[in-house]
Amino acid sequence: MDSSYIDVCIEEAKLSYQQGDVPIGAVIVQNGKILAKGHNTREFNHDILGHAEINVIREASKILKRWNLADCELYVTLKPCSMCTEIIKQSRILKVFYLLDKLDYKKEFSKSEFFKIESSKNEQMYHKMISDFFKDKR
């Protein structure tokens, strides 16, 4: 872990702050070099996915021309939210370093409800489709 990467994250967070976004900055490091850096752009771009972590993961994936970032590390100013945590896991990043835990008064927003659709015909058809897809890939 190299704390100098956090300095870059803070500079990125300042850009978020200036744009009216939550000041969060992030960098992705590969082999000791910064591969991608970014900040929150959710308000600026009117994009729910405009979190700093997602922005740098997208940028690193473009540069490397692959989504698997297992050989990279992520540095970020604030502990990632649940959405970003899942994206980080999906991108296979093994190490995440963050500067600050979530603020006590900042709670995850979750009022969404999820309902499983009961349709045996569609469920069987889709189960076969997704199973076949993964069989073909392996």
Catalytic residue positions? 53
User: Cα dihedral sign for 130, 84, 103, 19?
Assistant: negative
Q: Which residues contact 51 (CB under 8 A, 6 or more apart)?
A: 24, 40, 42, 80, 81, 83, 84
Q: How far apart are CA 38 and CA 111, in angstroms?
A: 29
Contacts of 116 (CB under 8 A, 6+ apart): none
- Whose tokens are 């956090």? That residue is 6
